[in-house]
Each structure stands twice: as C-alpha cells, then as structure tokens.
C-alpha cells in the first residue's frame, strides 16, 4: 500500500514506469550508489516500488554524452501523479544518469520482466544457431564424403584403363621373347 498524505486518496495513486539509462562503464559501487539514489528520489516522494527489471548492458542507437553502450533499468512505482514533476526534476540533475523516461501504463497493463524473456530468447537463439551450425557441418561432411567417393571411382577407372595397356605390353614382350628364342634356336626342323 503506498504512502498517502492528507490530500492524497487511494484513487489518486497510479502505477508508473520509470526507465533509466546510465553508462555501462560505471564501477559496481558507482552503479549501486546511482540506483539507490534513483530509488531514494522516487520513494521520498511517496512512491512504493512494485517491480524492478534490470535489462543490463545494451548498445545505443547513437552516442549519448560520448557513450555507445549503457545499462537500462525499468522500475514500476505506485505514487501520486502530483509528485511526478518533482521526481522528474530531481532525476534530471542526478549525476551519471544519461536519460530517463516516466510512462503511465494503460489500465490493465501487466507488468512483465523483459530481462527474463530476453534471457530465454537468447538461449533459444543460441540453440537455433547451434542447430544451424550442426546442419552446416553435416552438409559439409556429406559433400566431403561424396567427393571422396568420386575420387575413388576415378582412381579405379584409371587403373582399369592402365591394366589392359600393361597387359598388352606384357603379352607383346612375351611373344617377342618366344619368337627370339625360336629364331635363335638352331635345332629348328623346318
């Protein structure tokens, strides 16, 4: 239940989404201090944290204050809408905070932790990539096997062509040797 002052009723309290972007090169201590400062700023204005979704390091579409990558964190807070201006002003002057945005989700909006969905998607994509790589390796192995079979067939065909030629050479040599023997034989009865 959010903190309510005398002028705030429960109907005035709404859920707001706060998305913050800060440099990815901050140390763990600086990062922790920055996030605590952001949360403290919102909670000092009566906000009650509903959810926190750390998206982690992501590339930016364009450089922001010289940074090409940044860390994103999405908060959901229940708070009085009259306090938004004060929170926005405080976040604008927060050191190490590159950008922030405050959004009022539509009625019936279901809070989803996209960081978990993203991790699941990465694992599925990795599995898909591995499957494609395995298929590619299998196709390559099949091509290598087919090429080896063709080479064996060519070698066998070449050997078959060479055998009759050798055989005919051998036969010619044998016949020549027999003829020479016969001709040189003095005991011929012709």
pLDDT in tens, 66-81: 989 999 999 999 999 9
Q: How far apart are CA 26 and CA 49, in angstroms?
A: 24
Query: Considering the domain boundaries, does residue 183 fall inside one?
Result: no
Give the CATH number for residue 86.
3.30.70.60
Residue 134 falls inside a structural domain: no
pLDDT at 102: 92
- 153, part of any domain: no
34-43, 69-78, 125-134: the lowest-pLDDT one: 125-134
Asked whether residue 177 is assigned to any structural domain, the reply reads: no
Continuous segment of H or E residues that includes residue 76 = strand 67-79
Q: How far apart are CA 169 and CA 163, in angstroms?
A: 10
**Domain membership of residue 71 as a residue range:** 11-112
Residue where the block lists tokens 């011929």: 188
Residue recorded with tokens 């099949």: 142
Label the pairing between strands 99-103 and 14-23: antiparallel
Give the confidence band of 181 by pLDDT, cuts at 50, 70, 90.
Answer: confident
User: Does 69 reside within a domain?
Assistant: yes
Among candidate residues 70, 142, 129, the one with its CA nearest the CA of residue 99? 70
- DSSP-derived secondary structure letter, 46: T
Question: Quick count: other Cβ atoms within 10 Å of Cβ 74?
Answer: 20
Residue 38 lies in a domain: yes
Dihedral of CA atoms 36, 41, 47, 52 in degrees, nearest 10, equals -30
Q: Which residue has the higher pLDDT, 180 or 27?
A: 27
Closest by alpha carbon to 53, among 24, 74, 70? 74
In a domain, 144, yes or no: no
CA distance 79 to 15: 6
In the chain, the number of structural domains is 1
pTM as predicted: 0.57
CA 177 vs. chain centroid, Å, equals: 77
């Amino acid at each position: 239940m959010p903190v309510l002052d005398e002028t705030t009723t429960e109907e005035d309290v709404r859920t707001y989404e706060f998305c913050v972007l800060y440099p990815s090169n901050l140390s763990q201590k600086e990062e922790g201090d920055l996030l605590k400062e952001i949360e403290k700023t919102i909670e000092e204005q009566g906000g009650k944290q509903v959810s926190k979704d750390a998206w982690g390091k992501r590339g930016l579409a364009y450089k922001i204050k010289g940074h090409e990558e940044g860390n994103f964190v999405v908060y959901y807070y229940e708070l009085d809408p009259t306090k938004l201006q004060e929170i926005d002003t405080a976040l604008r002057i927060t050191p190490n905070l590159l950008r922030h945005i405050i959004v009022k989700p539509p009625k019936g909006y279901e809070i989803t932790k996209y960081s978990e969905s993203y991790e699941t998607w990465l694992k599925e994509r990795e599995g898909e990539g591995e499957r494609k790589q395995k298929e590619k390796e299998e196709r390559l192995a099949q091509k290598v096997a087919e090429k080896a079979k063709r080479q064996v067939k060519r070698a066998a065909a070449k050997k078959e062509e060479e055998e009759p030629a050798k055989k005919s050479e051998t036969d010619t040599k044998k016949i020549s040797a027999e003829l020479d023997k016969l001709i040189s034989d003095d005991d011929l009865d012709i």
